[in-house]
């Protein structure tokens, strides 16, 4: 310690080990404020120390500004009393240095100056001193003076803390605030407001005109009017507008403001908040977009299409014009989607919509009127593989048909997706306003019916709507409602058709076949309502019901002492693909008490479409449970000879279409022969369905088929009749 001032100091801290010099541990006694006295005059220091300690302060003294600065860091006093003039570092320099540090920014500093030295007094305040006192000091008052300064400083730090809390809250909430002093045209903005405007605080707007410069050009006049109106009326208001940040980006903001008035009610200030709502705005715009547009293709969706169509129809009906709605459905899209995956399906839809859109821009490529101008108003995606095109100002009906042909030609070129070339055809249905419907929804529905009719006839067909199509659609709708209630009102039952072993002639199994007896319309074929149940999503309930009923029945036969025949239950592909399917089977087996080996699940090759590996895995799970598996309608599918090897199934059911034409048709005979051979090679049981004649049965036996099922043995029978048949079959054998 070479510094003479410190040596002279009465309370100079004892020398500390070098490592501790910059980190002294100072115990703070909260109720005794610590004063750092800096004065080169030792007598003054001592006098001050005595006076202040008498007043209840603790005191540390040093004899020079530089030492005072170092000592401040060590002891962290609550207040500093410094002489103005000192030899090495004077009080002004000390004051400046302390104010430059954040730790001592708000510590009160009392500067001691010579009386009447106004220059020093001015300099003291310029350097950041809080107050001054002139020498000679009135020692009896100095304590009061310091306490007063301390109080002021506490208020200041509290204010600083609360300002920083507010700034934090603004930053977190992304709300800034600003103020406009009307008469002075002075704008002040919080840090967050500056951030929202994209301005560095130094470039923040100082006047209203400067503020307006941050506002997006197109919104400026509106904001200026808004402010003028608010000042005129004195009413608080809010507004949404855009701002352009310094980096050129556009943000949406929401401002709220109110007027402050003076005692005479005159508007003096406008204070407001500003909030960045760009993200919210973007999200709500996206939601609004998705409500109207198809996310995949960017085309208008059904809702927007219907709205636009209604507008077009209103115009057409005023002018007596004709409007045609064309529904374009891609043929076999579902198959592409299932066989090649959804991403290929999506890419195909994007390609198709692109072709429609591009040609829309050129307008008359797709449609033109006799006047030669484009008549094509809109293309939309209604969902799945269905698109709608609206043609206005049509002359005779041929134009719509010609347009439909052009659409088909447009889509017929190969679509190359992931290097693979896909050929698309489209079926088109057309409904014309006002003949086929008077509203947008009605025309769309009717054109869709026409498209479905076109699809049923052949691929790549075109059909105009006819009234009969509506009747068909209405029938289907009524049936859908009835099917829902049929499940609840026990109009459904299971019939059982025997399956007979060709070698022994014994009944070895029964296929459970669902029956719907409609209270008015009588029996309805499962061939008619199973596809509908699939379409309506009712198949899961229906399938579980059939399974539970069949298992319960088979178990009751066993309980009655019958031989344990297996019971075949049909499973539709969508049921099979349900992730819960094996668990559902297990549950039903446990609940009904049927041995898993007595259950034979029949599914078609259709279950393989899309994800054959997943299908095989499901089969393996079922096999592990002991359940038997059969491929129904074998030979009609298009997939899977290569996969067949991998299927853990026990049985192939030759489709009845081949059995029926056995010997009459060469191809059928060859297929039956091949299936039997295949079954043998793979050690599978082979059963022929739809066996109606002895000739067929004899031929099948000769070919090596194991079992038969068909009218030759019996039709599917109600449960009681089947049980009687089983009983007599059993008795005959014993
Ligand atoms: P499937 O599984 O191939 O059933 C065989 C169909 O052929 C049954 O028609 C049966 O009555 C019929 N049949 C049996 N023997 C002969 C015959 O010698 N000659 C002729 N001409 N037909 C015969 P059904 O009962 O009308 O069932 C039709 C289809 O409905 C079934 O074909 C099956 O795919 C489906 N199905 C029936 N019940 C259910 C069920 O509970 N769930 C599911 N998912 N589908 C079912
Ligand atoms: Mg079947
Ligand atoms: Mg079958």
> How many whole angstroms from 515 Cα to the centroid of ligand 1?
10
81 vs 375: CA distance, rounded Å: 90
Q: Name the closest ligand to CA 530.
A: 1
Proximal ligand: closest to the CA of 539: 1
Q: Tell me which residues have their CB closer than 6 angstroms to ligand 1.
A: 497, 513-514, 525-527, 530, 543, 546, 570-572, 602, 632-633, 656, 689-692, 709-711, 716
Alpha-carbon distance 97 to 120, whole Å? 17
CA angle 236, 237, 243 (to 5 degrees): 130
Q: Above 50 in pLDDT, residue 87?
A: yes
Ligand 1, atom 3: closest residue by C-alpha: 633
- In the chain, DSSP finds a helix count (H) and a strand count (E) of 26, 27
Tell me which ligand sits closest to the C-alpha of residue 655.
3
Tell me, what's the pLDDT at 360?
Answer: 60
How far away, in angstroms, is 75 Cα from ligand 2 center?
94
Q: Please check the confidence at residue 280 and state whether its pLDDT lies above 50.
A: yes
CA of 95 from ligand 2 middle (Å) equals 98
Residue nearest to atom 25 of ligand 1 (CA): 513
The burial class, CB within 10 Å (0-12 / 13-18 / 19+), for 415 is: buried
What atom in ligand 1 is closest to the CA of residue 602?
Answer: 2
Cα–Cα distance for residue pair 341/609, rounded to 1 Å:
10
In this predicted model, what pLDDT tens digit does every residue of 205-243 receive, in sequence order?
Answer: 999 999 999 999 999 999 999 999 999 999 999 999 999
Strands 186-189 and 79-83: what pairing? unpaired
Q: What percent of the chain has pLDDT over 90?
A: 48
Regarding predicted confidence, which is higher, 319 or 624? 624
Ligand lying closest to the C-alpha of residue 709: 1
Quote the pLDDT of residue 396: 54
Question: Among 109, 97, 128, which residue's Cα sits nearest to residue 37?
Answer: 109
* Residue carrying structure tokens 């501790």: 20
Question: Token pair for residue 121?
Answer: 């007094």
Give the tokens for residue 152: 């002021």
Instruction: Output the CA 587–ligand 3 centroid distance in Å.
Output: 26
DSSP-derived pairing of the beta strands 323-330 and 426-433: antiparallel
pTM: 0.48
Query: For residues 630 and 707, what is the distance between their CA atoms, to the nearest angstrom?
Result: 13
Please tell me the distance from the alpha carbon of residue 1 to that of residue 15, in angstroms, as a whole number.
Answer: 8
> What would the two tokens of residue 140 be?
């009896």
Whether the CB-CB separation of 208 and 298 falls below 8 Å is answered with: no
- Nearest 10 degrees: CA dihedral of 380, 382, 386, 392? -40
Nearest to 134 by CA among 142, 126, 150: 142
- Tokens encoding 563: 């031989």
Question: Which of 491, 441, 431 is closest to 464 using CA atoms?
Answer: 431
Mean pLDDT of all residues in 503-528: 91
572 CA to middle of ligand 2, Å? Answer: 10
pLDDT of residue 274: 94
Ligand 2 centroid distance, CA of 628 (Å): 14
Ligand closest in space to the Cα of 653: 3
**Ligand 1 test: best mutation among 689, 691, 709, most atoms within 8 Å of CB?**
689
Span of 345-349, 605-609, 612-616 with lowest mean pLDDT? 605-609
Closest residue by Cα to atom 20, ligand 1, is 690
Inter-residue contact 8 to 63 (CB < 8 Å): yes
The sheet carrying 109-114 orders its strands as 58-62, 34-38, 79-83, 109-114, 131-135
User: CA-CA distances (angstroms) from residue 6 to 11, 68, 175, 440, 711?
Assistant: 9, 9, 52, 96, 121
Virtual torsion, Cα 328, 332, 338, 339, nearest 10 deg = -140
Separation between Cα atoms, residue 152 and residue 158, nearest integer Å: 10
Mutate to test the pocket of ligand 1, among 492, 494, 513, 523 (most ligand atoms within 8 A of CB): 513
Instruction: Calculate mean pLDDT across residues 136-157.
Output: 86
Confidence of residue 27 (pLDDT cuts 50, 70, 90): very low
Instruction: Pick the atom of ligand 1 nearest to 653's CA.
Output: 3
**What is the average pLDDT score of the chain?**
86
Given ligand 1 and candidates 514, 526, 700, which is best to mutate, with the most ligand atoms within 8 Å of its CB? Answer: 526
Helix (H, G, I), strand (E, B) or coil at 246: coil
Q: Tabulate helix, strand, coil % of the chain (nearest 5).
A: 50, 25, 30
């Amino acid at each position: 310690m070479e510094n003479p001032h410190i040596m002279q100091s009465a309370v100079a801290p004892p020398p500390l080990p070098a490592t501790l010099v910059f980190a002294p541990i100072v115990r703070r006694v909260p109720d005794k404020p610590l004063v750092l006295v800096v004065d080169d005059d030792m007598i003054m220091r001592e006098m001050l120390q005595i006076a202040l300690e008498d007043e209840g302060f603790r005191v540390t003294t040093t004899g020079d500004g530089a030492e005072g600065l170092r000592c401040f860091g060590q002891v962290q006093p609550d207040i500093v009393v410094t002489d103005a003039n000192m030899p090495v570092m004077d009080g002004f320099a000390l004051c400046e240095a302390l104010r430059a540090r954040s730790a001592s920014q708000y510590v009160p500093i009392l500067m001691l100056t010579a009386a009447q030295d106004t220059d020093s007094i001015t300099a003291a305040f310029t350097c950041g001193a809080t107050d001054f006192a002139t020498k000679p000091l009135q020692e009896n008052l100095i304590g009061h003076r310091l306490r007063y300064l301390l109080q002021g400083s506490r208020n200041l730090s509290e204010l600083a803390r609360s300002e920083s809390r507010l700034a934090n809250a603004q930053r977190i909430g992304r709300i800034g605030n600003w103020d406009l002093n009307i008469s002075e045209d002075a704008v002040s903005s919080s840090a967050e407001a500056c951030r929202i405007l994209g301005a560095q605080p130094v470039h923040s707007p100082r006047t209203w005109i400067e503020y307006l410069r941050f506002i997006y050009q197109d919104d400026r006049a509106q904001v200026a009017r808004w402010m003028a109106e608010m000042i005129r009326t004195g009413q608080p208001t809010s507004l949404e507008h855009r701002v352009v940040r310094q980096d050129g980006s556009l943000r949406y903001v929401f401002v709220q403001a109110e007027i402050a008035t003076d005692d005479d009610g005159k508007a003096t200030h406008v204070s407001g908040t500003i909030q960045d709502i760009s993200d919210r705005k973007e999200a709500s715009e996206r939601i609004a977009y998705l409500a109207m547009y198809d996310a995949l293709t960017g085309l208008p969706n059904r809702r927007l299409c219907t709205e636009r169509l209604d507008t077009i129809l209103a115009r057409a009906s005023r002018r007596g014009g004709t409007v045609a709605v064309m529904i374009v459905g891609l043929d076999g899209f579902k198959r592409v989607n299932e066989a090649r995956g959804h991403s290929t399906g999506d890419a195909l839809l994007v390609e198709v919509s692109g072709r429609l859109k591009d040609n829309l821009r050129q307008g008359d490529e797709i449609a033109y009127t006799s006047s030669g101008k484009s008549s094509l108003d809109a293309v939309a995606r209604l969902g799945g593989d269905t698109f709608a095109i609206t043609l206005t100002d049509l002359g005779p009906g041929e134009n719509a048909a010609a347009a439909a042909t052009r659409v088909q030609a447009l889509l017929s070129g190969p679509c190359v997706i992931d290097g693979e070339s896909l050929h698309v055809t489209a079926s088109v249905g057309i409904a014309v306003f006002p003949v086929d419907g008077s509203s947008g929804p009605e025309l769309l529905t009717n054109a869709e019916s026409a498209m479905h009719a076109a699809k049923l006839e052949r691929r790549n067909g075109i059909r105009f709507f006819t009234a009969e199509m509506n009747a068909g659609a209405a029938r289907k709708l009524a049936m859908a409602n009835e099917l829902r209630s049929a499940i609840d009102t026990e109009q459904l039952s299971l019939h059982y058709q025997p399956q007979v072993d060709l070698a022994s002639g014994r009944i070895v199994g029964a296929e459970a076949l669902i029956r719907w007896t409609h209270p008015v319309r009588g029996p309805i074929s499962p061939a008619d309502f199973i596809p509908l149940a699939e379409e309506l999503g009712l198949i899961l309930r229906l399938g579980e019901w059939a399974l539970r009923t069949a298992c319960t029945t088979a178990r009751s036969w066993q309980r009655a002492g019958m031989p344990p025949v297996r019971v075949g239950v049909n499973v539709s592909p969508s049921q099979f693909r349900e992730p819960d399917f094996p668990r559902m089977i297990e549950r039903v087996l446990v609940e009904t008490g049927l041995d898993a080996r007595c259950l034979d699940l029949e599914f078609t090759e259709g279950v393989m479409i899309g994800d054959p590996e997943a299908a095989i895995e499901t089969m393996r799970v079922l096999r592990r449970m002991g359940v038997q598996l059969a491929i129904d309608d074998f030979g009609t599918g298009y997939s899977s000879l290569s996969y067949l090897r991998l299927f853990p199934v026990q049985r192939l059911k030759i489709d009845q279409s081949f059995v029926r034409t056995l010997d009459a048709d060469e191809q059928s005979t060859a297929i039956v022969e091949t299936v039997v051979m295949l079954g043998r090679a793979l050690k599978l049981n082979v059963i022929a369905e739809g066996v109606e004649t002895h000739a067929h049965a004899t031929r099948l036996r000769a070919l090596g088929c194991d079992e038969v099922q068909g009218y030759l043995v019996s039709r599917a029978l109600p449960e009681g009749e089947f049980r009687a048949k089983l009983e007599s079959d059993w008795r005959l054998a014993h």
